Amino acid sequence: METRKIEIPVMADLFARGEKPEYLFWVGCAGAYDDRYKKVARAFAKILVHLNISFAVLGKEETCTGDPARRAGNEMLFQMQALQNIELFKAYEVKKVITICPHCYNTFKNEYPDLGADFEVISYIDILNKYMDEGKLRVDAEKFKNVKITYHDPCYLGRANGIYEQPRAILKKLGGELVEMERNRSFALCCGAGGAQMFKEAEKGNKEVFLERMEDVLKVDPEIIATACPFCMTMMTDGIKYKNQEEKMRNLDIAELIAESLNL
């Protein structure tokens, strides 16, 4: 199979040339630094290129949205990050932002407007689903045929923002056999990493939250756990390891599943 190299367009470069992309692809700290989630950023960027979508990233100018600081009570730090980001977006005349992290998505969409932000925020799940529905993103429905997939709802797409059906619609279009865990959609159990828990040890208890969730997974015994959040991915991937399921199960992000089915 032939391949070609792709360069990810950077906002500052485009701006210097007087070009303006339609979308800002907000990679997020996990997409930039977490080894596992970097692969998701790569998969999604490939899909954007495949679809000829006009986009750019901020690169070195990108910084934390401030979300974990806000949820951990550091409102001062959150607002400093938010106001800086809003200034930067204004300077680049950003009108539409695509995120691959539900936490970035939520704070941009629901919280930044209080601080003067004025841009549209789109979850990658929504844009992928839209392109599939419009027939612009055609996947190979054979690739995951009869593959048992379960979807773990991230709290910040699901309960926080009501995005329950779009990821499931994508999985169905991929041809997978979607199996639901008992706790799904608005009933879904958190992976345990939200609210800045990702960055600290859990308080004393009798179990890790991700293991409780992993037991839900084991009950439906899928081949693939589909996730749509970097923190959920860390937790579910850990869960697979802890429960010695590495031979049987993979944890993939929805963007990765699409890229895989497209052979990108």
Partner 1 sequence: MTKQIVFALALLITLGVFAYTVSRIVRFFMLTRKGFRVNQLGKRLWVTLEVAFGQTKIFRRPVIGLAHALVFWGFCVILFGSIEMVIDGLFGLEKSLSILGGFYNFMMAAGDVFALLVAISIVVFLIRRVFLHIKRFEGIEMKKISHIDANVALSIILILMLSLMGMNAAYLKWVELAGHQVHGVYPVSQHLKWLFNGMPVESVFTHYQVYWWTHILLIFLFANLLPYSKHFHVFMSVPNVFLSRLEPLGKLPNMDNVTREVKLMMDPNAAFAAPAADAPIERFGVKDAEDVVWKSYFDALSCTECGRCTSVCPANITGKKLSPRKVMMDLRARMKEKGPLMLKNGRDFNDGKSLVRDYISEEELWACTTCNACAQECPINIDHPKLIVEMRRYLVMEEGSAPGELKAMFNNIENNGAPWQYSPEDRLVWAKDLEISVH
Residues 36-65 that bind partner 1 (CB under 8 A): 38, 41-42, 45-46, 49-50, 57-64
**Complex with partner 1: residue 171 or 190, whichever CB lies closer:** 190
The residue within the footprint of partner 1, chosen from 55, 70, 97, 240 (CB under 8 A), is 70
The interface with partner 1 within residues 174-213 (CB under 8 A) comprises: 186-187, 189-190, 192-209, 212
Nearby residues of 243 by Cβ (< 8 Å), 6 or more positions away? 211, 214, 218
Distance CA 252, CA 226 (A): 5
Tokens representing residue 20 in the block: 């303006």
Q: Does 80 bind partner 1 (CB under 8 A)?
A: yes
**Complex with partner 1: residue 216 or 224, whichever CB lies closer:** 216
Q: Which of 139, 55, 164 is nearest to 99 (CA)?
A: 55
Distance CA 86, CA 81 (A): 9
- The minimum distance between CB 150 and partner 1, in angstroms, equals 18
Tokens representing residue 87 in the block: 């200034």
In which order are the strands placed within the sheet that holds 23-26? Answer: 55-56, 23-26, 96-99, 120-123
**Complex with partner 1: residue 172 or 264, whichever CB lies closer:** 264
Distance CA 164, CA 170 (A): 11
The residue within the footprint of partner 1, chosen from 14, 51, 71, 96 (CB under 8 A), is 71
**Complex with partner 1: residue 186 or 246, whichever CB lies closer:** 186
- The minimum distance between CB 247 and partner 1, in angstroms, equals 26
- The minimum distance between CB 37 and partner 1, in angstroms, equals 8
CA 175-180-182 angle, 5° bins: 175
Q: Total number of residues binding partner 1 (CB under 8 A)? A: 82
Q: Does 117 bind partner 1 (CB under 8 A)?
A: no
Q: Does 242 bind partner 1 (CB under 8 A)?
A: no
